[in-house]
Amino acid sequence: MTRIIPMLLAFAALAAPAVSLAGDGAGNREERMAKLEARVGKYAEKCKVANAPARCAQVKQKLGARIDKIQARITARLAAINQRCSVPAPGKGCAKKGERAALLLQQVLSRLSALERRL
């Protein structure tokens, strides 16, 4: 019994942070988008000058590739939603969830396009 209690306390201490970090993903999406926007802002601040450092070309290429990769995944997800919801008898998820997801993905795509134009 004296061995079990400390082991249970250690397990609870390790499990609590994992449970508290789990969420619905909305905050995670916004945090990632804010981080990407900050990176593009930092690039624009340092590299959109007359005597830009040589590394700026590499940073621009890397940021552009990252944005393109995200846009490709979002476009694929939108295509999957459209395909799933365009059947004659779509499921219950297409009525509101599909529309909301498509709208949200379109908003993210427009934000990514704006970031790409800043590069």
Model-wide pTM > 0.75: no
Q: What's the number of CA atoms in the CB half-sphere (13 Å) around residue 103?
A: 7
pLDDT digits (tens, 9 = 90+) for 68-82: 998 899 889 888 888
- pLDDT grade, residue 26 (50/70/90)? low
Buried b vs exposed e over 88-119: b needs ≥16 C-beta within 10 Å?
eeeeeebeeebeebbeebeebeeebeebeeee
Domain range annotation of the chain: 23-118
Question: Topology of 23-118 in CATH?
Answer: Methane Monooxygenase Hydroxylase; Chain G, domain 1 (1.20.58)
pLDDT digits (tens, 9 = 90+) for 28-39: 878 888 888 888
